[in-house]
Amino acid sequence: MYAKPFEPSYEYACQCDRYDELASFQHEFYKKDGTIYLDGNSLGLLSKRAEKSLLTLLDSWKQSGIDGWTEGEHPWYFLSEQLGELSAPLIGATPEEVIVTGSTTTNLHQVVATFYEPKEGKTKILADELTFPSDIYALQSQIRLKGLDPAQHLVQVKSRDGRTLNEEDIIAAMTEDIALIVLPAVLYRSGQILNMKLLTEEAHKRGIHIGFDLCHSIGSIPHHFEEWDVDFAVWCNYKYLNAGPGGVGGLYVNKKHFNRLPGLAGWFGSRKDKQFDMEHELTPAEHAGAYQIGTPHVLSVAPLIGSLEIFKEAGIDRLRQKSLHITRYMINLINYELKDMDFILGNPLEDEKRGGHIYLEHKEAARICKALKANGVIPDFRAPNGIRLAPVALYNTYEEVWNAVRILKKIMVEEEYKQFENKREVVA
């Protein structure tokens, strides 16, 4: 699929682009001239198909009013289920196990409210110290709602190096007092992929339910949840899946749990033929749709229709193949061009442990990110000293990666970053 082994030349980058089987998809996206966008692990770019599907649903409101719930190309009433079916192959699940609804944090509240059942001697939730803060806030509040103290009942596995987690440490923390486990599939800073299969097996050996936050993995790496028997998962769709800012999230519940009443019930969790009976006794849907809470955010979910069409055509296995190759290429370029410039490469080097972005650490990271932006390269800063660079398989090219690393080298050699304050922006 790709050119011969790594060379640092511009010609090699162009050769890789010529061999790229996914090259045609970059033309599906709106890419600003003079800009190299490497922040798709934080907010993916708009595609033409996502724009079209958004305008289509806007028009259905315009033309049909309330009848848009049951009429038109994409009737709103069944949209969450249909998009769940399209999302299911990305995580290796069956269609009925996936629903597009809510946001990462509201969905996390839902699954924890459903699966966290503290009993005498088994009251704690196991998480980690490197996960995204919102997950910890949700877990803390769910513990408080049970009348317990998060300081005593939330266990966070420590990192040995401040960047990655060791699966052995996580397994060792699966003690008899753990009632539930919630972990990231891919760590948001370092991009480390956790061994979800192993961790699920070990949790189930101990009778513990386990779920994952897929925000930095879905659309970037394959998952095999049906095979692994994961209990639940939540994610956003606006990073690698390009659903737009604040796009509606996703939720997976293993079909073996469909008999569980949702911890947080709402009328859109009703069985469709019963929902408008307006009864005060919930008849839950017999699939993951039962875990919806409120009315679908139709206009916020609309871009995902077009985006998932692209993923269906590209295929997650091909996307992963390019992602591995282009991130490896970027790592090699960084090691070649930026040596002796005090950068620390913080992400795993092994293919099976590396997600879709590169993580660099530098004491001047905030300044460097501002200088990159001033030079047309869009990175992602993570306090206190992290630079995330995501060469996204669908729309980034090897030529862009080559140019971005050269620009970063120029910024460091000419000390351009010193004209900026080493302080994050309001939105980093």
Residue 40 has pLDDT above 90, yes or no: yes
Indicate whether 426 belongs to any domain.
Answer: no
Structural domain containing residue 338: 10-30+316-419
pLDDT tens, 70-127?
A: 999 999 999 999 999 999 999 999 999 999 999 999 999 999 999 999 999 999 999 9
65 class by beta-carbon count within 10 Å (0-12 exposed, 13-18 middle, 19+ buried) = exposed
pLDDT for position 2? 61
- Asked whether residue 165 falls in the same domain as residue 223, the answer is yes
pLDDT tens, 342-351?
A: 999 999 999 9
Query: Does 80 appear as a known binding residue?
Result: no
Residue 1 has pLDDT above 80, yes or no: no
- Asked whether residue 356 falls in the same domain as residue 233, the answer is no
**How many other CB atoms are there within 10 angstroms of residue 332's CB atom?**
15
Residue 422 has pLDDT above 90, yes or no: no
| 12 in Cβ contact with 3 (< 8 Å) | yes
Indicate whether 45 belongs to any domain.
Answer: no
| 208 in Cβ contact with 200 (< 8 Å) | no
Our measurement of the distance from residue 173's CA atom to the centroid of its chain's CA atoms, rounded to an integer in Å, reads 25
% of the chain residues with pLDDT over 70: 99
- Asked whether residue 275 falls in the same domain as residue 260, the answer is yes
Integer CA distances (angstroms), 165 to 172, 203, 233, in order: 12, 16, 19
Indicate whether 44 belongs to any domain.
Answer: no
Q: Strand pairing of 232-235 and 209-213? A: parallel
pLDDT tens, 126-155?
A: 999 999 999 999 999 999 999 999 999 999
Last residue of a domain, one of 313, 344, 377: 313
Report DSSP state, residue 286: S
Query: Does 59 appear as a known binding residue?
Result: no
Report DSSP state, residue 122: B
pLDDT for position 60? 97
pLDDT for position 3? 59
- Asked whether residue 196 falls in the same domain as residue 111, the answer is yes
Residue 314 has pLDDT above 60, yes or no: yes
pLDDT tens, 157-169?
A: 999 999 999 999 9
Integer CA distances (angstroms), 147 to 88, 140, 141, 142, 153, in order: 36, 11, 10, 9, 11
Q: CATH number of the domain at 374, please.
A: 3.90.1150.10
What is the C-alpha to C-alpha distance for residues 396 and 377, in angstroms, rounded to an integer?
12
- Asked whether residue 15 falls in the same domain as residue 115, the answer is no
Q: How confident is the model at residue 425 (pLDDT cuts 50, 70, 90)?
A: confident
End-to-end CA distance of the chain: 36
- Backbone angle region of 221, left / alpha / beta, with phi > 0 → left and psi within -120 to 50 → alpha: beta
**How many other CB atoms are there within 10 angstroms of residue 295's CB atom?**
13
Indicate whether 193 belongs to any domain.
Answer: yes
Last residue of a domain, one of 260, 290, 313: 313
Q: How confident is the model at residue 28 (pLDDT cuts 50, 70, 90)?
A: very high
pLDDT tens, 46-73?
A: 999 999 999 999 999 999 999 999 999 9
- Asked whether residue 300 falls in the same domain as residue 325, the answer is no
Query: Does 277 appear as a known binding residue?
Result: no
307 class by beta-carbon count within 10 Å (0-12 exposed, 13-18 middle, 19+ buried) = buried
78 class by beta-carbon count within 10 Å (0-12 exposed, 13-18 middle, 19+ buried) = middle
Query: Does 133 appear as a known binding residue?
Result: yes
- Asked whether residue 367 falls in the same domain as residue 263, the answer is no
- Asked whether residue 142 falls in the same domain as residue 119, the answer is yes
Entry pTM: 0.96
Query: Does 35 appear as a known binding residue?
Result: no
Query: Does 131 appear as a known binding residue?
Result: no
Query: Does 169 appear as a known binding residue?
Result: no
Q: CATH number of the domain at 185, please.
A: 3.40.640.10
Query: Does 104 appear as a known binding residue?
Result: yes
Mean pLDDT for the chain overall: 97
- Asked whether residue 404 falls in the same domain as residue 337, the answer is yes
Indicate whether 205 belongs to any domain.
Answer: yes
CA-CA-CA-CA dihedral for 235, 240, 243, 249, to nearest 10: 0
- Asked whether residue 94 falls in the same domain as residue 238, the answer is yes
Indicate whether 427 belongs to any domain.
Answer: no
Residue 352 has pLDDT above 90, yes or no: yes
Both tokens of residue 362? 């530098």
pLDDT for position 204? 98
What is the C-alpha to C-alpha distance for residues 285 and 307, in angstroms, rounded to an integer?
26
Last residue of a domain, one of 283, 313, 343: 313
Number of domains forming the structure of the chain: 2
Indicate whether 1 belongs to any domain.
Answer: no
- Asked whether residue 173 falls in the same domain as residue 213, the answer is yes
Per residue, the 3-state secondary structure of 84-103, as one string, reads: HHHHHHHHCCCHHHEEECCC
Tokens 């060791």 locate to 166
- Asked whether residue 266 falls in the same domain as residue 349, the answer is no
User: Nearest 5°: phi and psi at 119?
Assistant: -130, 170
Indicate whether 2 belongs to any domain.
Answer: no
pLDDT tens, 254-297?
A: 999 999 999 999 999 999 999 999 999 999 999 999 999 999 99
Query: Does 8 appear as a known binding residue?
Result: no
